[in-house]
Amino acid sequence: MKLIIAANWKMNKTICESVTYFQEFINEYCYIDEVTVVVCPPYTSLHAVYNEIKNSKISLGAQNIHWEDKGAFTGEISALMLKELGVEYVIIGHSERRHIMGEDNQQIHKKLKIALDYKLKPILCVGETEKERESGIMEEVIREQFTSAFSGLAGSQAQNIIIAYEPVWAIGTGKAALPEDAEKAAGTIKKIIKDSFNQKIADSVYIQYGGSVNEDNIGSFVTLPSVKGVLVGGASLDAPSFNKLVRASGRTVSN
Ligand code: PGA
């Protein structure tokens, strides 16, 4: 199983800055067979970034999607619009969308379905807040997020979903989860998938860890038995650092 390293730029970089980033990044970038790199810039930079990466093996992702095909949804972007821009992956249910924009599990479920209908690869984010962690209900929270997002999906669809375990308290704080906690959460996710589908599907689903991943700690996550990649925010914004992070993951894989 390849590692999937996804960069989530959030609301950062203008078109100009995105192009400059890739001119620098591609120069130093060295493709590693065992690693898929996905970059998720803001919507406004998707076209420009596509042009920069189209001859590399880097894939394009979006940070959000709307659940309807088209219509009166001011400010929203559809699956078809993303496909036309060369987007392959889409982040769904990121904690900033859940907690700042008020997205709920039902909306996330609909987003997941439309992404699958259009053959986009969803990266579904799940994870508990600090308060939920302190109350010892991490497993219940993840189970609820997973169950409502996956409700009614066939096993063949579930297999195409990447799940990013992103504890909310670790995002943008510089306080990454301990690798053993990330492994425990990934194990919980696998168990939930097995209970909902079967062992084969649980084994084939990709699970990423996200939350304060950087070039120094990536090795301790991608070598975990149940974690097959990372979702990176802050540390993906600087081209040389992100290159180092990708290289560090490759070294770990081949070791
Ligand atoms: P971070 O963000 O790496 O800056 O913690 C991760 C994310 O939000 O996906």
Among 28-32, 109-113, 237-241, which is the least confidently predicted range?
28-32
Q: How far is the CA of 168 from the centre of ligand 1 (A)?
A: 9
Cβ of 213 below 6 Å from ligand 1: yes
Query: Is 52 noted as a catalytic residue in this protein?
Result: no
Cβ of 233 below 6 Å from ligand 1: yes
Q: Which two tokens stand for residue 7?
A: 């960069």
Q: Give the pLDDT confidence score for residue 150 in this predicted structure.
A: 95
Q: Which of 192, 196, 185, 118 is nearest to 154 (CA)?
A: 196
Whether 116 shows a pLDDT value over 70: the answer reads yes
Residue range 145-168, pLDDT digits in tens:
999 999 999 999 999 999 999 999
Q: Give the pLDDT confidence score for residue 167 in this predicted structure.
A: 97
Q: Which of 180, 95, 206 is nearest to 141 (CA)?
A: 95
Q: What is the dihedral of CA 217, 225, 5, 151, to 10 degrees?
A: -130
> Is the Cβ–Cβ distance between 82 and 117 less than 8 Å?
no
Q: Give me the catalytic one of 103, 128, 166, 183.
A: 166
The confidence band for 238, taking pLDDT boundaries of 50, 70 and 90, is very high
Cβ of 36 below 6 Å from ligand 1: no
C-alpha span between 72 and 64 (Å, rounded) = 17
Residue 131 burial class via C-beta count within 10 angstroms: exposed 0-12, middle 13-18, buried 19 and up: exposed
Q: Give the pLDDT confidence score for residue 30 in this predicted structure.
A: 87
Q: Give the pLDDT confidence score for residue 254 in this predicted structure.
A: 57
The confidence band for 253, taking pLDDT boundaries of 50, 70 and 90, is low
Cβ of 38 below 6 Å from ligand 1: no
> Which helix (DSSP H) or strand (DSSP E) does residue 104 occupy?
none
Q: Give the pLDDT confidence score for residue 76 in this predicted structure.
A: 98
Reading phi first (left if > 0) and then psi (alpha if -120 to 50, else beta), residue 247 is in: alpha
Ligand 1 pocket mutation pick from 166, 214, 236 by most atoms within 8 angstroms of CB = 166
Residue range 14-50, pLDDT digits in tens:
999 999 999 999 999 989 989 999 999 999 999 999 9
> Which helix (DSSP H) or strand (DSSP E) does residue 217 occupy?
none
Q: Give the pLDDT confidence score for residue 251 in this predicted structure.
A: 72
Mean pLDDT, all residues of the chain? 96
Cβ of 212 below 6 Å from ligand 1: yes
Q: Give the pLDDT confidence score for residue 8 in this predicted structure.
A: 98
Q: In DSSP terms, which residues pair with 37 in a beta bridge?
A: 5
Ligand 1 atom with the shortest distance to the CA of 170: 5
Query: Is 47 noted as a catalytic residue in this protein?
Result: no
Q: Is the pTM of this model over 0.85?
A: yes
Average pLDDT (165-189) is 97
C-alpha span between 70 and 33 (Å, rounded) = 38
Average pLDDT (55-70) is 97
